[in-house]
């Protein structure tokens, strides 16, 4: 089958459609993502929520920001990450972007703890790395999100 290059969006360099699939080139964090996925058991949907049913709006927004805004070690400059967080929060009518950054760390901690209880050491190590980055840089991303990434 032929590859059809796809355009648009923020991260599309090298993304192609082949038949009914969309393929993306490996990224700097691909190895970590693959390691986490290899250690998950196929038991159902992966979700941040504690229970079944709708989650809190903050949980849902934090999860969306984590998934789509690219906050973290490979997400570019702190100011740019803060700007993207602010843009997403503004788009959803949420006026406390710093709270969203704090909640991302809470969600990552909760996921790490679940992996620890299940005995998934490699996944725990990956979440520990993600949490270490958030602990080292989260407050700077929070500050940049409040200013929309503008400094000075």
In three-state secondary structure terms, 59 is helix
Rounded to an integer, what is the distance from CA 115 to the centroid of its chain? 17
Residue count (the chain): 152
Q: Are 58 and 100 in contact (CB under 8 A)?
A: yes
Q: Lowest-pLDDT range, 8-17, 96-105, 119-128, 130-139?
A: 8-17
SS3 content of the chain, % helix, strand, coil (to 5): 55, 5, 40
pLDDT value at residue 34: 73
**pLDDT score of 9 more than 90:** no
- pLDDT at residue 94 tops 70: yes
Separation of alpha carbons 149 and 147, rounded Å: 5
1-10, 34-43, 52-61, 77-86: range with lowest mean pLDDT? 34-43
**12-48 pLDDT, tens per residue?**
578 888 887 878 888 888 887 777 777 665 544 445 4
pLDDT confidence of 79, banded at 50, 70, 90?
very high
Q: How far apart are CA 36 and CA 121, in angstroms?
A: 10
Tell me how far apart the alpha carbons of residues 93 and 100 are, in angstroms, rounded to a whole number.
13
pTM of the model: 0.64
Lowest-confidence segment of 43-57, 64-78, 97-111, 135-149 by average pLDDT: 43-57
Across 85-95, average pLDDT: 92
More confident residue, 37 or 95: 95
For residue 118, pLDDT beyond 80: yes
């Amino acid at each position: 089958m032929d590859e059809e290059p796809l355009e648009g969006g923020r991260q599309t360099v090298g993304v192609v459609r082949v038949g009914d699939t969309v393929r993306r080139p490996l990224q700097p964090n691909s190895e970590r993502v693959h390691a986490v996925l290899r250690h998950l058991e196929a038991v159902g949907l992966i979700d941040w929520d504690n229970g079944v049913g709708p989650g809190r709006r903050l949980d849902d927004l934090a999860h969306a920001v984590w998934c789509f805004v690219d906050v973290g070690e490979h997400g570019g400059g702190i100011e740019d990450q803060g700007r993207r967080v602010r843009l997403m929060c503004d788009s959803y009518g949420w006026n406390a972007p710093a709270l969203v950054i704090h909640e991302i760390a809470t969600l990552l901690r909760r996921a790490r703890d679940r992996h620890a209880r299940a005995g998934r050491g490699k996944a725990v190590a990956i979440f520990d790395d993600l949490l270490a980055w958030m602990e080292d840089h989260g407050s700077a991303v929070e500050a940049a999100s409040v200013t929309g990434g503008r400094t000075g």
